[in-house]
Amino acid sequence: MKKILFQESQKNIQVLAIVPAVLVTMLFGILSFMQIILHKQMGNNPAPNWLLLLFFLGSPFMLYLFSSQTLKTLITEDEIIVSFGFFTSKKVVNINEISNLSVRKYDALKEFLGWGVRTNGENDCYTVKGNDGLEISLSNGKRILIGTKKPIEIQNIINDNFLTKFKK
């Protein structure tokens, strides 16, 4: 069994995403009530009742799916594993593929146009909030940035010669 050196889970709860989702849900609720209960259709070409109900009931479900996603980071002696959400597969980086590790500040909006699973061409980013991250430089020149709320713990692992100690 691989020895776990670091483990972190971060929930994807962002107020900037929750507020619009609640407003959309309320909008479809009002439209559904007006059209189905009061029999007052909006516009010249109103949506069918089933579609309004689908959006009204689906909006909270999508909000739940979005907000219950978790960014998980695991560092063992052999690899670094990162996974995010329901729809993304986990990324496994073998320690022999790593040329350098560093903890750094980043700006998710400027560098990756937001949070989540992102790429800016050749570099990948896994973040949910904050501006501290573990940057993994790979031997092939690519980089992976993983957001963290525990930068000091990761820096301690790096300072403990993680790469030279466990690299084969």
Domain boundaries, the chain: 4-10+71-166, 13-67
What is the per-residue pLDDT for 98?
A: 92
**pLDDT at 150 (0 to 100):** 95
Sort 108 into a burial class: Cβ within 10 Å, 0-12 / 13-18 / 19+.
buried
Q: Which CATH architecture has domain 4-10+71-166?
A: Roll (2.30)
Reference 147, options 110, 116, 109, 120; nearest CA is 116
With beta carbons less than 8 A apart as the criterion, state whether 57 and 106 touch. Answer: no
- Predicted pLDDT of residue 10: 87
Residue 31 is predicted with a pLDDT of 85
pLDDT score at 168: 65
DSSP class of 98: E
Mean pLDDT by 10 residues, the chain (168 residues): 85 69 83 86 84 83 76 92 80 92 91 79 84 93 94 91 68
Residue 33: per-residue pLDDT: 86
Query: Could you tell me the pTM of the whole model?
Result: 0.74
